[in-house]
Each structure stands twice: as C-alpha cells, then as structure tokens.
Amino acid sequence: MPLSSYLDTQPVLGDRVYLHSSCQVIGDVVMGDDCSIWCNTVLRGDVNRIVIGRGSNVQDLTMGHVSHRTPQNPEGSPLIIGDYVTVGHSVILHGCTIGDECLIGMGSIVMDNVVIPDRVMIGAGSLVSPGKVLESGMLYMGRPAKAVRALTEEEIAFLRHSAEHYMKVKDNYLNGTKRMEQEYA
C-alpha cells in the first residue's frame, strides 16, 4: 500500500485521487480532489506538512520532502503545491511553495523557501536556489534558474491543459482502463 503514517499523522486524500501502487505517501500529506501521484514518487511529510491542491499531478520518480521546524525557523519549510500543477519526471521539491497552474520541468530541483507564484514554467533540468522568489507569467531555466522570457498566451493556456490531460489519464486508471483517449482539443 502506498500510504504510510508517521507517528500519529496519516495522509488525507480528496476525491478521485490516483496513487500508483509503487509510490510512497508518508505522514502529513493532504491532497485535493483529482490529484495523481505516479510511479515510484515519494512524498515524505514526516517532519513537516505537504499540501497538494486539486487537479495537480506529480510524475514518476519525483521526490517531495520538507524541512523541520527550528528555533530560527519556527514554521520550518513545508511543501505546498497549488491547483492544476504539473510536476515532471524525476523532480526534487524540497520545502518550497508552488502556485496554481505551474509546470515544473523534468529533472528540476526546487529548494527550500522558494516561492513560485501562479502560472510559471520551470524548464527541464533547472535548479531554483534556496529562498528565491520568482515572478508570475515567466519561463525560468538554467542552473541556477533565471528568468528567460514572459510566457506566451499559448504557453499559459498549456499549463492548465497539461494538468487536465493528466486528470483524464488518472481517470482511465481509476476506471480500470489503461487505454488513453486521444482528446487533445
């Protein structure tokens, strides 16, 4: 079973959530409706909380973790993911905040206390340094990640489309069919 408690805290799932049997969701993790957590992903909410908004997907081999509370940082660094976010394959998210309708590209690393506002795209393989606060509506790329340009209207629309596409795929799995419909309208 992909759900595990930590001490007296258990994950809380919204409606129509899909968890692949190989993922691990541990401790203080709260997921909104229609989320999907894919193959070999780990969400470890042991020393702080993880909150994932509705319609978001966390793809294969991603690691989501948090930083513990300290006297210098009484809240620690929880991991907060907004609504309709796509987190690509093999991403590391550590104690950061991601707004709504964002895309975090494959292989990216987002460190503690980073704030990514709504409608941001992080290019594949990027590293967002600790404490960085990004600007909405922008494409960030590189190691360290830097603003490259404003997103086009088409790219902004794609952010929501990507999350909705993964909602269809997870519904296929929940309904017992692994055949993906070709609905790209």
For residue 176, pLDDT over 90 is answered with no
CB 77 within 8 Å of CB 56: no
Question: 76, 65 in Cβ contact below 8 A?
Answer: no
Is the pLDDT score of 184 beyond 80?
no
What's the rounded Cα separation, in Å, for the pair 95 and 143? 19
pLDDT in tens, 56-84: 999 999 999 999 999 999 999 999 999 99
* Euclidean distance between CA atoms 185 and 17, whole angstroms: 24
> What pLDDT is stored for residue 29 in this prediction?
98
User: pLDDT value at position 74?
Assistant: 92
Rounded to whole angstroms, the Cα distance separating 185 from 174 reads 22
Strand partners, 6: 9
pLDDT of residue 182: 43
Tens of pLDDT, residue by residue over 10-38, are 999 999 999 999 999 999 999 999 999 99
pLDDT in tens, 105-150: 999 999 999 999 999 999 999 999 999 999 999 999 999 999 999 9
Q: Is the pTM of this model over 0.85?
A: yes
Query: Residue 17 carries which side chain, given as an amino acid letter?
Result: V
User: Does 180 have pLDDT greater than 60?
Assistant: no
Q: Over the chain, what is the mean pLDDT? A: 94
At residue 178 the predicted structure's pLDDT band, cuts being 50, 70 and 90, is: very low
Dig out the tokens for 139 from the structure: 């494409």
